[in-house]
Amino acid sequence: MAGNFTFHNKFHRANHHTLSSFDIVDSGLDPIASKAYPFLGVFYNRLTDQSRSFNIDTNSLEWWSAFTTMVAYSGIWMPTLTLYTTVSTLSDSWNLGYSGYTTLKSNSASYDSVYATVCSFSADWGSPFLMFTNKVQEYTHAKTFSGRELVLNTNFVGNSTYEWNLDEQQVAFLTVKKNILIKNPIPGTMITGGLYTLVIKQNNLPVANVGYDVQFEPAYRFNERFTEAAGLNIVNKALSGITVYNFVAVGDFLFGDVTYLSGNY
Protein backbone atom coordinates (compact mmCIF):
# COMPACT_ATOMS: atom_id res chain seq x y z
CA MET A 1 0.00 0.00 0.00
CA ALA A 2 2.96 2.31 0.51
CA GLY A 3 3.31 4.80 -2.35
CA ASN A 4 -0.19 4.12 -3.60
CA PHE A 5 -2.98 6.63 -3.26
CA THR A 6 -6.12 4.64 -2.85
CA PHE A 7 -9.58 5.60 -1.73
CA HIS A 8 -11.18 3.39 0.93
CA ASN A 9 -14.60 3.39 2.40
CA LYS A 10 -15.05 3.87 6.14
CA PHE A 11 -15.29 0.14 6.72
CA HIS A 12 -12.05 -0.67 4.96
CA ARG A 13 -10.12 -0.70 8.26
CA ALA A 14 -12.21 -3.65 9.37
CA ASN A 15 -10.64 -5.57 6.47
CA HIS A 16 -7.34 -5.46 8.38
CA HIS A 17 -8.80 -6.56 11.76
CA THR A 18 -7.53 -9.83 13.17
CA LEU A 19 -11.11 -10.96 13.83
CA SER A 20 -14.06 -10.56 11.48
CA SER A 21 -17.27 -8.78 12.36
CA PHE A 22 -20.49 -10.45 11.23
CA ASP A 23 -22.10 -7.18 10.20
CA ILE A 24 -19.17 -5.77 8.19
CA VAL A 25 -18.44 -7.24 4.79
CA ASP A 26 -14.87 -8.40 4.15
CA SER A 27 -13.82 -7.72 7.76
CA GLY A 28 -10.82 -9.71 8.97
CA LEU A 29 -9.80 -10.83 5.47
CA ASP A 30 -6.46 -8.99 5.41
CA PRO A 31 -5.23 -8.69 9.03
CA ILE A 32 -2.20 -6.52 9.61
CA ALA A 33 -0.76 -9.13 11.95
CA SER A 34 -1.81 -12.44 13.47
CA LYS A 35 -0.50 -15.10 15.80
CA ALA A 36 0.90 -16.93 12.77
CA TYR A 37 2.28 -13.73 11.24
CA PRO A 38 3.05 -11.36 14.12
CA PHE A 39 3.94 -7.74 13.62
CA LEU A 40 7.75 -7.52 13.51
CA GLY A 41 9.77 -4.82 15.27
CA VAL A 42 8.83 -2.27 17.91
CA PHE A 43 5.48 -0.61 17.55
CA TYR A 44 5.79 3.14 18.14
CA ASN A 45 2.96 5.49 18.72
CA ARG A 46 2.24 8.97 20.02
CA LEU A 47 -0.60 9.25 22.48
CA THR A 48 -2.70 12.39 22.00
CA ASP A 49 -6.29 13.56 21.91
CA GLN A 50 -8.45 15.14 19.22
CA SER A 51 -7.32 18.63 20.14
CA ARG A 52 -3.66 17.62 20.50
CA SER A 53 -3.61 18.90 24.07
CA PHE A 54 -0.90 16.38 24.99
CA ASN A 55 1.65 14.24 23.18
CA ILE A 56 3.14 11.17 24.84
CA ASP A 57 5.58 9.05 22.88
CA THR A 58 5.58 5.40 23.77
CA ASN A 59 6.31 2.02 22.19
CA SER A 60 5.55 -1.66 22.58
CA LEU A 61 8.93 -2.36 24.25
CA GLU A 62 7.98 -0.07 27.13
CA TRP A 63 4.62 -1.78 27.36
CA TRP A 64 6.33 -5.15 27.61
CA SER A 65 8.74 -3.91 30.28
CA ALA A 66 5.85 -2.57 32.35
CA PHE A 67 3.99 -5.84 31.92
CA THR A 68 6.92 -8.01 33.02
CA THR A 69 7.53 -5.75 36.03
CA MET A 70 3.92 -6.12 37.14
CA VAL A 71 4.11 -9.88 36.71
CA ALA A 72 7.29 -9.99 38.81
CA TYR A 73 5.61 -8.10 41.67
CA SER A 74 2.21 -9.74 41.42
CA GLY A 75 3.22 -12.22 44.16
CA ILE A 76 2.95 -9.51 46.80
CA TRP A 77 -0.38 -8.13 45.65
CA MET A 78 -2.42 -10.48 47.82
CA PRO A 79 -0.66 -9.54 51.11
CA THR A 80 -1.01 -5.90 50.10
CA LEU A 81 -4.68 -6.45 49.32
CA THR A 82 -5.13 -8.18 52.70
CA LEU A 83 -3.48 -5.24 54.43
CA TYR A 84 -5.68 -2.82 52.53
CA THR A 85 -8.89 -4.65 53.41
CA THR A 86 -7.83 -4.88 57.07
CA VAL A 87 -7.11 -1.18 57.21
CA SER A 88 -10.39 -0.44 55.47
CA THR A 89 -12.28 -2.64 57.94
CA LEU A 90 -10.75 -0.89 60.94
CA SER A 91 -10.89 2.58 59.50
CA ASP A 92 -14.10 3.34 61.43
CA SER A 93 -12.01 3.22 64.60
CA TRP A 94 -9.55 5.87 63.42
CA ASN A 95 -11.67 8.67 64.77
CA LEU A 96 -11.57 7.08 68.23
CA GLY A 97 -7.78 7.11 68.16
CA TYR A 98 -7.81 10.64 66.87
CA SER A 99 -10.18 11.61 69.67
CA GLY A 100 -7.75 10.15 72.20
CA TYR A 101 -4.92 12.04 70.59
CA THR A 102 -6.79 15.35 70.66
CA THR A 103 -7.75 14.78 74.32
CA LEU A 104 -4.16 14.11 75.31
CA LYS A 105 -2.95 17.03 73.28
CA SER A 106 -5.43 19.41 74.91
CA ASN A 107 -4.22 18.33 78.36
CA SER A 108 -0.54 18.32 77.49
CA ALA A 109 -0.11 21.84 78.84
CA SER A 110 -0.66 20.39 82.32
CA TYR A 111 2.12 17.81 82.05
CA ASP A 112 4.88 20.17 83.15
CA SER A 113 2.75 21.39 86.05
CA VAL A 114 2.12 17.83 87.28
CA TYR A 115 5.78 16.95 86.88
CA ALA A 116 6.86 20.05 88.80
CA THR A 117 4.35 19.30 91.57
CA VAL A 118 5.57 15.73 91.94
CA CYS A 119 9.18 16.91 92.03
CA SER A 120 8.39 19.53 94.66
CA PHE A 121 6.97 16.87 96.98
CA SER A 122 9.55 14.20 96.24
CA ALA A 123 11.61 15.27 99.25
CA ASP A 124 8.77 14.00 101.46
CA TRP A 125 8.75 10.51 100.02
CA GLY A 126 11.20 9.31 102.65
CA SER A 127 8.82 10.08 105.52
CA PRO A 128 5.91 7.89 104.31
CA PHE A 129 8.47 5.25 103.45
CA LEU A 130 9.87 5.37 106.96
CA MET A 131 6.37 5.31 108.39
CA PHE A 132 5.59 2.24 106.32
CA THR A 133 8.76 0.45 107.30
CA ASN A 134 8.27 1.38 110.95
CA LYS A 135 4.76 -0.06 110.89
CA VAL A 136 6.05 -3.22 109.28
CA GLN A 137 8.87 -3.45 111.78
CA GLU A 138 6.45 -2.88 114.64
CA TYR A 139 4.23 -5.69 113.43
CA THR A 140 7.19 -7.97 112.81
CA HIS A 141 8.61 -7.08 116.22
CA ALA A 142 5.30 -8.04 117.84
CA LYS A 143 5.27 -11.38 116.07
CA THR A 144 8.93 -12.38 116.20
CA PHE A 145 10.17 -10.97 119.52
CA SER A 146 12.54 -13.03 121.68
CA GLY A 147 12.47 -13.23 125.48
CA ARG A 148 15.04 -11.33 127.57
CA GLU A 149 16.00 -11.19 131.19
CA LEU A 150 14.83 -8.27 133.30
CA VAL A 151 17.68 -6.01 134.35
CA LEU A 152 18.35 -5.29 138.04
CA ASN A 153 18.49 -1.57 138.74
CA THR A 154 21.32 -1.02 141.22
CA ASN A 155 20.37 2.63 141.67
CA PHE A 156 17.63 1.67 144.10
CA VAL A 157 18.27 0.84 147.77
CA GLY A 158 18.58 -2.86 148.54
CA ASN A 159 19.38 -3.88 144.99
CA SER A 160 15.98 -5.58 144.69
CA THR A 161 14.28 -3.34 142.12
CA TYR A 162 13.78 -4.35 138.48
CA GLU A 163 12.79 -2.17 135.55
CA TRP A 164 10.83 -3.48 132.56
CA ASN A 165 11.46 -1.99 129.11
CA LEU A 166 8.39 -3.20 127.25
CA ASP A 167 9.77 -2.10 123.89
CA GLU A 168 12.83 -4.33 124.16
CA GLN A 169 11.44 -7.04 126.46
CA GLN A 170 7.96 -7.86 125.26
CA VAL A 171 8.55 -11.25 126.81
CA ALA A 172 10.66 -10.95 129.98
CA PHE A 173 12.23 -13.56 132.27
CA LEU A 174 13.27 -13.18 135.88
CA THR A 175 14.75 -15.65 138.35
CA VAL A 176 13.86 -14.58 141.90
CA LYS A 177 16.28 -15.21 144.73
CA LYS A 178 14.95 -12.64 147.20
CA ASN A 179 12.02 -10.28 147.70
CA ILE A 180 11.81 -7.89 144.76
CA LEU A 181 9.94 -4.87 143.40
CA ILE A 182 9.04 -4.50 139.71
CA LYS A 183 8.84 -0.85 138.75
CA ASN A 184 6.19 0.63 136.48
CA PRO A 185 7.15 0.19 132.81
CA ILE A 186 9.79 2.59 131.54
CA PRO A 187 7.87 5.63 130.18
CA GLY A 188 7.23 5.55 126.46
CA THR A 189 7.73 1.81 126.05
CA MET A 190 4.11 0.73 126.62
CA ILE A 191 1.71 0.77 123.65
CA THR A 192 -2.04 0.54 124.18
CA GLY A 193 -3.24 -2.80 122.90
CA GLY A 194 0.20 -4.34 123.29
CA LEU A 195 0.53 -7.82 124.76
CA TYR A 196 3.33 -8.41 127.26
CA THR A 197 4.43 -11.47 129.22
CA LEU A 198 6.53 -11.81 132.38
CA VAL A 199 7.83 -15.23 133.42
CA ILE A 200 9.12 -15.45 137.02
CA LYS A 201 11.01 -18.51 138.17
CA GLN A 202 11.62 -19.52 141.82
CA ASN A 203 13.42 -22.62 143.03
CA ASN A 204 14.94 -23.48 146.42
CA LEU A 205 12.17 -21.61 148.25
CA PRO A 206 12.98 -20.25 151.77
CA VAL A 207 9.84 -21.88 153.20
CA ALA A 208 8.16 -24.96 151.72
CA ASN A 209 5.74 -23.90 148.96
CA VAL A 210 6.03 -20.24 149.95
CA GLY A 211 8.06 -18.04 147.66
CA TYR A 212 9.68 -14.67 147.93
CA ASP A 213 7.53 -11.58 147.73
CA VAL A 214 7.16 -10.01 144.30
CA GLN A 215 5.72 -6.53 144.43
CA PHE A 216 4.42 -4.54 141.48
CA GLU A 217 4.00 -0.80 141.30
CA PRO A 218 0.48 0.62 140.70
CA ALA A 219 0.58 0.48 136.88
CA TYR A 220 0.08 -3.29 137.14
CA ARG A 221 -3.49 -4.45 137.81
CA PHE A 222 -4.42 -8.07 138.52
CA ASN A 223 -7.44 -10.20 139.41
CA GLU A 224 -8.71 -10.99 142.87
CA ARG A 225 -5.80 -13.25 143.74
CA PHE A 226 -3.75 -10.21 144.58
CA THR A 227 -4.13 -7.52 147.20
CA GLU A 228 -3.18 -3.89 147.13
CA ALA A 229 -0.68 -3.01 149.86
CA ALA A 230 -0.95 0.49 151.33
CA GLY A 231 -2.25 1.77 148.00
CA LEU A 232 1.25 1.58 146.53
CA ASN A 233 1.64 -1.76 144.81
CA ILE A 234 0.35 -5.23 144.21
CA VAL A 235 1.98 -7.99 146.27
CA ASN A 236 2.25 -11.67 145.48
CA LYS A 237 3.23 -13.74 148.54
CA ALA A 238 2.71 -17.24 147.17
CA LEU A 239 5.14 -17.76 144.30
CA SER A 240 6.46 -21.25 143.77
CA GLY A 241 8.00 -22.83 140.68
CA ILE A 242 7.13 -20.77 137.62
CA THR A 243 4.53 -18.01 137.42
CA VAL A 244 3.48 -16.56 134.07
CA TYR A 245 1.94 -13.07 133.97
CA ASN A 246 0.10 -12.11 130.77
CA PHE A 247 -0.69 -8.41 130.36
CA VAL A 248 -2.59 -6.22 127.95
CA ALA A 249 -1.78 -2.50 127.94
CA VAL A 250 -4.66 -0.04 128.26
CA GLY A 251 -3.74 3.59 128.69
CA ASP A 252 -1.33 3.87 131.64
CA PHE A 253 -2.10 0.41 133.04
CA LEU A 254 -1.18 -3.20 132.41
CA PHE A 255 -4.08 -5.54 133.13
CA GLY A 256 -2.95 -9.10 133.71
CA ASP A 257 -3.86 -12.62 134.63
CA VAL A 258 -1.62 -15.27 136.12
CA THR A 259 -0.79 -18.91 135.45
CA TYR A 260 1.02 -20.97 138.13
CA LEU A 261 3.26 -23.93 137.40
CA SER A 262 4.37 -25.49 140.66
CA GLY A 263 7.57 -27.41 141.21
CA ASN A 264 11.23 -26.90 140.38
CA TYR A 265 12.30 -26.02 136.82
Q: Which CATH number fits the domain that encloses residue 234?
A: 2.60.120
Give the Cα separation of 28 and 184 in Å (integer). 129
Tally of CB atoms within 10 A around 220: 22
The stretch 180-204 carries a mean pLDDT of 84
Please check whether residue 248 lies inside any domain of the structure: yes
Give 109-124 pLDDT, tens digit per residue: 777 788 888 788 777 6
Residues 121 and 157 in one domain: no
Q: Please indicate, yes or no, whether residues 178 and 233 belong to a single structural domain of this protein.
A: yes
In-domain check, residue 1: no
Q: What is residue 59's predicted lDDT score, i.e. its pLDDT?
A: 92
Burial (CB count within 10 angstroms: exposed 0-12, middle 13-18, buried 19+), residue 124: exposed
Residue 256 lies in a domain: yes
Residues 153 and 225 placed together within one structural domain of the fold:
yes
Residue range 142-187, pLDDT digits in tens:
555 667 888 777 665 566 888 888 888 888 998 887 888 888 888 8
User: Among residues of the chain, what percentage have pLDDT more than 90?
Assistant: 5
pLDDT band for 232, please (50, 70, 90 cuts). Answer: very low
Query: Is 91 inside a domain boundary?
Result: no
> What pLDDT does residue 3 have?
57
Shared domain check, 182 and 151: yes
Tell me, yes or no, whether 124 and 157 share the same domain. Answer: no
The span from the CA of 230 to the CA of 245, in Å, is 22
d(CA 60, CA 42): 6
Number of domains in the chain: 3
Which residues on adjacent β-strands are paired with residue 227? 235
Q: Is residue 233 part of a domain?
A: yes
What is the domain range of residue 114? 110-144
Mean pLDDT score across all residues of the chain: 77
56 pLDDT band, cuts 50/70/90, is very high
